[in-house]
Amino acid sequence: MRILSAYPTLLRIGFANAVAYRTEMLVWMLTMTMPFVSLALWSAVAESVPVGRFDQKSFVAYFLATIVVRQLCGAWVVWELIQEIKSGTLTSRLLKPIHPLVVYSADNIAAIPLRALFAAPLALIGITSGGTALPHEPHRVVALFLSLFGAWFITFFVMVIIGCLSFFMESSASIFDIWIACFMILSGYLVPLELFPSWVRGVAEVLPFRYTLGFPVEILIGMSSDAAIARGLVIQLAYGCGSAAMALALWRSGVRRFGAFGG
């Protein structure tokens, strides 16, 4: 109950912090525009003949949706965790009678409105490009929001898992680099997954990366069937629960180690 009553204040403070860091955040958001490069490339490829189901307009819609979804579902808790564990500043969070992950989550969620401001014009261009079939049936709209929340949830807890590895090793930043490299390829960030050979698609279907980006993007631009959406949501739920459970277990064990070795 206390978490629920505290959360609005945590969100307000998190938003104020995001506004204070607006310039850094804008620069950081600009680093997430790699899909523009993919857009230029694939638009050129699809100029004369569609690639699979994608013509030029579909590529515009897809990659703009990719940027929008990444802005809405992004988190950065991994960097905070690594830095605070290494410097020992985590101690001030551990002294508070609230789970630090609750405060981290509020900080990350609170920045979404600011990032939505950046994403809004792109979404508008995407909508007017003619390459999308935005979901309008209520069940698809609900599914879209669930998938966006699921994508953020998995991203957040995977970041917590990787950040918590810093309790056990010098720094887990390099592990996160590996995660990002796989994410670029297997989430649909740079190339729509359906353009990959079927075996790569098969791998991407079972790994978590697609469910942090490609899956909500496909719902957003109307490229998923109802059956695919239902299956995707179930897989997202499984990854969400699994990543949260693993993150909490690693956190507990990490804090015990922090307590044993000092911070």
Partner 1 sequence: MSRGDQGIEVAGLHKDYRVHRRKSGMLNTVRSIFHRTYETVPAVRDLSFTIEPGERVGFLGPNGAGKTTTLKILAGLLHPTAGRVVVAGHEPRLREHRFLKRITLVMGQKQQLIWDLPPVDTFSQNRAIYDLSRASFDATLKELDELLGISAIAEKPTRQLSLGERMKCELAAALLHRPDVLFLDEPTIGLDVSMQLAVRDFIRAYNERTGATTLLTSHYMDDVAALCPRVIVIDKGRLRYDGALGKLVEKIRPDKAIVLRYAHRPDRAALERIGTVTECDDAKAVVRVARPDLREAVANLLLDPELSDLTIEDPPLEEVLRELFAQSAAESA
Q: Is the CB of 98 or the CB of 190 nearer to partner 1? A: 98
Q: Cα separations (Å) of 263 from 5, 79, 249, 255, 259?
A: 30, 17, 19, 10, 8
Candidate list 26, 44, 52, 91; residue touching partner 1; CB under 8 A: 91
Q: Does 10 bind partner 1 (CB under 8 A)?
A: yes
CB distance 206 to 126 below 8 Å: no
Q: Specify the residue for token string 């804008």.
A: 26
Binding mask 92-121 for partner 1 (x = CB under 8 A): x-xxxxx----x------------------
- The phi and psi torsions of 19 (rounded to 5 degrees) equal -65, -40
* Token pair of 252 as six digits: 């507990």
Q: Is the CB of 53 or the CB of 256 nearer to partner 1? A: 256
Candidate list 44, 79, 89, 130; residue touching partner 1; CB under 8 A: 89
- The phi and psi torsions of 54 (rounded to 5 degrees) equal -100, 120
Smallest CA-to-CA distance from 151 within 71, 245, 31 is with: 71
Q: Is the CB of 20 or the CB of 37 nearer to partner 1? A: 20
Q: Is the CB of 128 or the CB of 253 nearer to partner 1? A: 253
Q: Does 169 bind partner 1 (CB under 8 A)?
A: no
Q: Does 261 bind partner 1 (CB under 8 A)?
A: yes
Candidate list 13, 184, 195, 203; residue touching partner 1; CB under 8 A: 13
| Gap between the Cα atoms of 91 and 36, Å rounded | 41
| Gap between the Cα atoms of 191 and 82, Å rounded | 30
Q: Specify the residue for token string 């403070």.
A: 13
Query: Which 240-259 residues touch partner 1, going by CB under 8 A?
Result: 256, 258-259
The residues that touch partner 1, with contacts defined as CB under 8 A, are 2, 5-6, 8-10, 12-13, 16-17, 20-21, 88-89, 91-92, 94-98, 103, 256, 258-263
